[in-house]
Chains A and B, each alone.
Chain A
Amino acid sequence: MNVAVIIPLVLFLVIIFAVGFIASRSLTKSGSDFMQDYYLGGRQLGGFILAMTMIATYGSASSFIGGPGVAYTEGLGWVLLAMAQVVSGYFVLMILGKKFAIMARRYNAVTLTDFLKGRYQSKWVVITAAFSIIIFLFSAMAAQWVGGARLIESLTGLSYTSALFIFAVSVLIYVIIGGFKAVALTDMIQGVVMVGGTLILLIATIIAGGGISNIMADLTAENPNLITPFGAEGSLTPSYVSSFWILVGVAVVGLPQVTVRAMSYKSSRAMHRALIIGTFVVGFIMLNMHLIGVFARPILPGIEVGDTVMPLIALEVLPPWVAGIVLAAPMAAIMSTVDSLLLLVSSSVVKDIYVNYVKPDATYQRVKRMSFGVTAVLGILVFLMALNPPDLLIWLNLFAFGGLEATFIWPVVMGLYWKTGNKYGALSSMVVGIGSYIVIDVFYTSLFGLHSVVFPVVLSFIAYVVVSLATKHLVVKEAGEIAAES
């Protein structure tokens, strides 16, 4: 493959490394609380970084590589669906909001699990939470590694194994060294690359297609359904598309990788800035990326594998070196997703399980060594799994997003805003959420034409409320002391 494409990509990786090293120096300097610094960046994120790191985290490879591919096949209907993600740009920070940040500081929480521990004071809530994070995020992460390696493979012509190795080494080095701050900073660079890259590519694609009217005419000539909201086969029903408002829109509130960012910001001013920037940027990127997929169709007809639409169209309509920079965008998306997931799984192992229940009196040095060690071991494990990905892994990844949402959304949201909510409610909400999601996903795929995440979210809400009310008398004494004040 083209050297002119590879050089900008490599440069991009070098810059990312540099940032990781710089961030690690500030990590060793402050040193007041290693756990907070490594996993949360010392709660010092400003507004711009916060917005970018949130977007980079939930706009994972699925939206940056898979998304445009599906848009290529389905047409404008899929762009409509993707725009449901705009809501996540402001909803998460507004709902969790200042109360979550205040409570997280009060509980000294570093992870979502810490927050649940502080709120519910229950060993079983913590263990259920930690295990679902470890299992689901680990699989989600492994699948992202496969995606990252495939991208390097297609760009460089290296074998899959060498591509995976390059990817793994670059991710591991800066996650291990820099921790959350490095991840958040590189997320920011990657966010900027994504914004610029998608804009350049969209403009170049429109020019190559002879203008928007021309592209629309070509699409209509091929299949008029491509320009309707209903998809190429007319199979995207309003109820199905709308249910994505839950999956990729409002229920994102329950994703651990997103909530951890909602406790990491410096001040309410930073949060306000992040709300505005985040909404603009997430909408901008989603609109651009998916429109590129649709507009690519008349220019490059007959692409079979959806994942290759982005690289192919970039190489087609841009000069090689610009294509290299632009393709750094999906690369950036995958890497930033991977490093934040890696950090989160590592924090779950070290903090939620090890420090809480295995060795509560662990020394500072020991925790520090454990954190680096566990992050490295997890990285190697993921590498081994990605070498020869088992089918179960692919399934678990698809499943992880909705599963985590159904598990966590109500214990977090109701825990913040409903005083009566208690540990029994939280635990049953988690169990019902995850259980009903598995049942619906495996046996029905979609119930009443809605995405399979919808009913578990509803059921886990009912479970939370009913069980909390039914067990109110059991916790009446503790409630006065630990429940969230409102």
Chain B
Amino acid sequence: MPPQEDYRFKIANREALIGVGLAVINFVWWFAFAYGLGSRPPEEYSYVFGIPSWFFYSCIVGFILIAALVTFVVKVFFVEVPLDDEEEGDRS
């Protein structure tokens, strides 16, 4: 029988919560810039590198930001654990 309180599950739970947190940040950023800057009439749009600013910040900067955040979080907070149950003898 596996031990009742597997230390790896604590790590897994924390990492799942990080995933939820990242998704929330990602969504808020995406939504705020898209509809915050994009709800004006198109004549009033400002442009960054020729792209409407709402799209530039929401989709392009947002994507780069979240990819960088994922990299950071994984490198700093994620812990490597063995995936097999070594203590069990009945496994081939």
Cα-based distance from A254 to B4 in the complex (angstroms) = 27
A224 lies within 8 A of chain B by Cβ: yes
- Interchain pairs with CB closer than 8 A, number: 150
Neighbouring B residues of A94 by C-beta, 8 Å: 15-16, 18-19, 22
Asked whether A212 and B49 contact (CB < 8 A) given A86-B66, A95-B19, A98-B8, the answer is yes
Contact of A90 among B11, B31, B70 (CB under 8 A): B70
Cα-based distance from A215 to B13 in the complex (angstroms) = 47
Cα-based distance from A91 to B21 in the complex (angstroms) = 10
Interface of B, helix, strand, loop or mixed by DSSP = helix
Taking CB atoms and an 8 Å cut-off, the chain B residues in 52-70 that contact chain A are: 52, 54-55, 58-60, 62-63, 66-67, 70
Neighbouring A residues of B84 by C-beta, 8 Å: 105
A445 lies within 8 A of chain B by Cβ: no
Neighbouring A residues of B6 by C-beta, 8 Å: 102, 485
A268 touches B42 (CB 8 A): no
B63 touches A86 (CB 8 A): yes
Neighbouring A residues of B30 by C-beta, 8 Å: 80, 83-84
Neighbouring A residues of B58 by C-beta, 8 Å: 80, 83, 229
B15 CB → nearest A CB, Å = 5
Flag B64-81 by CB within 8 Å of A: 1 or 0 each.
001100110011001111
Contact of A98 among B31, B35, B81 (CB under 8 A): B81
A31 lies within 8 A of chain B by Cβ: no
Asked whether A227 and B45 contact (CB < 8 A) given A99-B12, A268-B81, the answer is yes
Neighbouring B residues of A238 by C-beta, 8 Å: 31, 34-35
Interface of A, helix, strand, loop or mixed by DSSP = helix
Neighbouring B residues of A86 by C-beta, 8 Å: 26, 63, 66-67
A95 touches B20 (CB 8 A): yes
Closest to B59 in A: A83
Closest to B60 in A: A287
Neighbouring B residues of A272 by C-beta, 8 Å: 74-75, 78, 80
Contact of A229 among B35, B62, B75 (CB under 8 A): B35
B63 touches A283 (CB 8 A): yes
Asked whether A97 and B42 contact (CB < 8 A) given A102-B85, A272-B74, A276-B70, the answer is no
Cα-based distance from A215 to B49 in the complex (angstroms) = 12
A84 CB → nearest B CB, Å = 7
Taking CB atoms and an 8 Å cut-off, the chain A residues in 213-233 that contact chain B are: 213-216, 220, 224-225, 227-230
A242 lies within 8 A of chain B by Cβ: yes
Closest to A267 in B: B83
B89 lies within 8 A of chain A by Cβ: no
B70 touches A98 (CB 8 A): no
Cα-based distance from A99 to B30 in the complex (angstroms) = 29
Cα-based distance from A396 to B74 in the complex (angstroms) = 38
Neighbouring A residues of B31 by C-beta, 8 Å: 238, 242
A283 touches B67 (CB 8 A): yes
A240 lies within 8 A of chain B by Cβ: no
A76 touches B52 (CB 8 A): yes
Taking CB atoms and an 8 Å cut-off, the chain A residues in 40-98 that contact chain B are: 76, 79-80, 83-84, 86-87, 89-91, 94-95, 97-98
A224 CB → nearest B CB, Å = 4
On B, residues with C-beta under 8 Å from A are: 2-6, 8-9, 11-13, 15-16, 18-20, 22-23, 26-27, 30-31, 34-35, 38-39, 41-43, 45, 47, 49-52, 54-55, 58-60, 62-63, 66-67, 70-71, 74-75, 78-85, 92
List 15 additional A-B contacts (Cβ < 8 Å) besides A102-B12, A228-B42: A76-B52, A86-B63, A87-B26, A91-B19, A91-B22, A94-B22, A97-B12, A97-B16, A97-B19, A102-B6, A220-B42, A268-B80, A268-B82, A276-B74, A287-B63
Interchain residue pairs with CB less than 8 A apart (18): A33-B92, A80-B55, A83-B58, A86-B26, A86-B66, A90-B66, A99-B12, A225-B42, A227-B45, A229-B55, A238-B31, A250-B23, A268-B80, A268-B82, A283-B63, A283-B67, A287-B59, A417-B13
